[in-house]
Structure 1
Amino acid sequence: MKSVSTRNLAFTAIALLAFTGCGAQASGSVPEPDTSTTTSAVVASSASAVEETAGAEETNYSGGSKAPEGEYRAADEHGPAQNVPKPVAPEGMNVESTDAMLLFINYWNDMRNYAIQTGDTQDLKHMYEDTYEADLRFIDSVDKLYKNGGWIIGLKRDVHANRELVTHLGNSAYSLGANITVENGIINEVQNIKSIDNSEANLNGYEIIVTFKDGEWKVSDGKVVK
């Protein structure tokens, strides 16, 4: 790998995990869907900020070589993940119901993991309201990292939503309690390597706020609840 110059670079990791409680008590569920309502499928919590690095001059391949078409290879010290399957939006997601909301949450998380492995963040950004500033900063940092030749190893996460902890906040906004487990990982910034240990952060709780508007779900906010 060729050496490159690097500008000032900052990385902040916020791990998102097990829901232990939030201010409001869960009361009721999302209304049952109106089956006449259909929309086009849309693509839509750890968070971090990575500032700009200098562009790399070489192509790096996980496993040390370019993978054959269709062969998935996870990211490693040699390069980013290859041939990562892009998640497909599930049917029945774009209605206002508890089941549909949970489909959306899983799809959103899958798209977030996809972006972490590929640097392709365009569709993921569409799944957010502007109010979720922390995660949007994280997405921008991922975009910059990959454009400047870096990549991420690990840091994929699983969301374990608890449908018993759904609170209707009014105006088609809902609070959801979830357990979120995040892998440890490495941020490869070409010249700098940063290790992320999520073992303690995984003990925290997490609350996700989502809104159903104009026939689709959006993630509005999220916060750690200790």
Structure 2
Amino acid sequence: MPRLSFASFTVATVRVAAAGIGVSLLLSGCQGGSTPGSPPSESSPTTASPTSGATGSPSPVGPSATTAPSGVYKPADPKGKAQNVPVPVMPELAKENTKEGLEAFIRYWYAEQNYAIETGDSSGWKRFTAPDCRACNRIQEGIDDSNVHGRWLAGGKITVPVVEPLWTDNAVGQQAKVQVIQERADYFNADGTTGRAFEKATNSAFGLSASFGPDGWTVADLGLIG
């Protein structure tokens, strides 16, 4: 499994999500002129060129703890939606305002995004996402579109091999660089026909900004590192 070398990346060039791309993190959007340690910014559109999808068995996206519903878990396939999807459980470490807590939270946040991809229920993911995070809102639009009128998605699973917090002591807002690998996603209508064009697998690097408050961590902004 190839991993992205963060040594070659800066937070200075990021691109945020555009609408109409489904739940996939194939984000095309904007490049900004922020400096390392500042949140991702937006300006004029550009074309995304993420590293292509990789093979192998990447590390899990989030904590191993889940709340298992009754019945056997069955991932989505061309014949139907996912069934009995385990609900992610936030680890205690992810509630801490520490570098390790930030990393654990980010992995949990992506686990919640995986759950939303499989079920269409993004309530857990949105709970820890700032309402003014434009990239996050566009991902939400994609999740909604993937589940409209009985549509479902097969594949699209996210893994996060690398989370690199850029920790600043005594700061409310923190940043991290995150490697996000996403499987190919195929869409199906309620009658089993193709719902929309498939989206290829991706292997991308993101800049993520999060803040810590009375209720814990919240993702404030997200951008694709150019």
Instruction: Normalising by structure 1, report the TM-score.
Output: 0.65
Percent identity over the alignment is 26
Q: Which residue of 1 aligns with 2:30?
A: none
Structure 1 position 193 matched with structure 2 position 196: yes
| Counterparts in 2 of 1:189 and 1:135: CA distance versus 1, 3 Å | farther
From 26, 47, 52, the equivalent of 1:15 is 26
Q: Determine the C-alpha separation between the residues in 2 that align with 1:195 and 1:179.
A: 22
Large movers: runs of 4+ above 6 Å: none
Counterparts of residues 64-83 of structure 1 (less than 5 Å): 69-83=70-84
Pairwise CA distance, 1:24: 1.4
Q: Which residue of 1 aligns with 2:36?
A: 24
Letter in 1 for 2:36: A
Counterparts of residues 1-226 of structure 1 (less than 5 Å): 11-12=20-21, 13-15=24-26, 23-24=35-36, 69-163=70-164, 165-168=165-168, 171-190=171-190, 191=193, 192-199=195-202, 202=203, 204-226=204-226
* SS at 1:78 equivalent: coil
Higher Cα Rg, which structure = 1
Letter in 2 for 1:80: K
Letter in 1 for 2:214: D
The number of aligned residues is 167
Q: Determine the C-alpha separation between the residues in 2 that align with 1:169 and 1:130.
A: 26
Letter in 1 for 2:99: T
Pairwise CA distance, 1:170: 7.3
Pairwise CA distance, 1:184: 0.8
Q: Which runs of 5+ in 1 are unaligned?
A: 1-9, 17-21, 27-67
**Larger RCO, structures 1/2 (Cα 8 Å, 6+ apart):** 1
Letter in 1 for 2:172: S
Pairwise CA distance, 1:121: 1.1
* Offset from partner CA, 1:103-141 (integer Å, 9 cap, x none): 111111111101100111112111111231222232244
RMSD: 2.7
| Counterparts in 2 of 1:169 and 1:135: CA distance versus 1, 3 Å | farther
Letter in 1 for 2:78: E
| Counterparts in 2 of 1:181 and 1:14: CA distance versus 1, 3 Å | closer
* SS at 2:207 equivalent: strand
Contact 2:37 2:175 (C-alpha < 8 Å) held by counterparts: no
Larger displacement relative to structure 2 (124-133 or 106-115):
124-133
Letter in 1 for 2:201: N
Pairwise CA distance, 1:169: 9.3
* Offset from partner CA, 1:167-210 (integer Å, 9 cap, x none): 439751111012111111112244533210134xx2x4211111
Contact 1:102 1:161 (C-alpha < 8 Å) held by counterparts: no
Q: Which runs of 5+ in 2 are unaligned?
A: 1-18, 28-33, 39-68
Q: Determine the C-alpha separation between the residues in 1 that align with 2:107 and 2:169.
A: 21
Larger displacement relative to structure 2 (129-138 or 184-193):
184-193
Contact 1:75 1:152 (C-alpha < 8 Å) held by counterparts: yes
* SS at 1:74 equivalent: coil
